Amino acid sequence: MPLVCGSRDEGLPWRDGLLQSSDQSALEAQHATSKKGGRRIFWITEPQLSSRRCRPCPRLWAPGSVHVLSHPSAFSSQQWRGFRQSSVAPGQVLQFKLSDIGEGIMEVTVKEWYVKEGDKVSQFDSICEVQSDKASVTITSRYDGIVRKLHYDVDSLALVGSPLVDIETDAPRDGGHEEDIVETLAVSHEHPHQEIKGHKTLATPTVRRLAMENNVKLSEVVGTGKDGRILKEDILNFLAKQTGAILPYDDVKVPVAPAAPAKVEKVAPHPTPTVPRPVFTGKDRTEPLNGFQKAMLKTMTAALKIPHFGYCDEVDLTNLVRLRSELKGVAESRGVKLSYMPFFIKAASLSLLQFPILNASVDESCQNITYKASHNIGLAMDTLQGLLVPNVKGVQALSVFEIAVELNRLQALGSGGQLGTADLTGGTFTISNIGSIGGTYAMPVILPPEVAIGALGKIQILPRFDAGGEPVKAHVMNVSWSADHRVIDGATMSHFSNLWRSYLEQPTSMLLDLK
- Report, as residue numbers or ranges, the catalytic residues: 485, 489
Residue 62, CA atoms < 13 Å, CB-side half-sphere = 6
Rounding to the nearest 10 degrees, give the CA dihedral for residues 322, 326, 332, 334.
Answer: -130
- Contact assessment for residue 431 and residue 378, using Cβ atoms and an 8 Å cutoff: yes
- Other beta carbons less than 10 A from residue 103's beta carbon: 9
- Other beta carbons less than 10 A from residue 241's beta carbon: 9
Beta strands 429-432; 452-465: pairing state? parallel
Dist. CA 488–CA 452, nearest whole Å: 9
State the amino acid at position 130 in one-letter form.
V
Mind giving me the DSSP string for 148-182?
A: EEE---TT-EEETTSEEEEEEEPP-SSSSSPPPB-
Residue 439: left if φ>0, alpha if ψ -120 to 50, beta else—which one? left
Quote the radius of gyration of the chain (alpha carbons, Å).
Answer: 44
Tally the residues of the chain.
Answer: 515
Helices and strands (H and E) in the chain: how many: 8, 25
Query: What angle do helix axes 205-213 and 232-241 make, rounded to 10 degrees?
Result: 20
- Contact assessment for residue 1 and residue 71, using Cβ atoms and an 8 Å cutoff: yes
Nearest CA to 501 out of 458, 461, 456, 452 is that of 456
Mind giving me the DSSP string for 412-459?
A: HHHHTT---HHHHS--SEEEE-GGGTS-S-------TTB-EEEEEEEE
- Other beta carbons less than 10 A from residue 375's beta carbon: 25
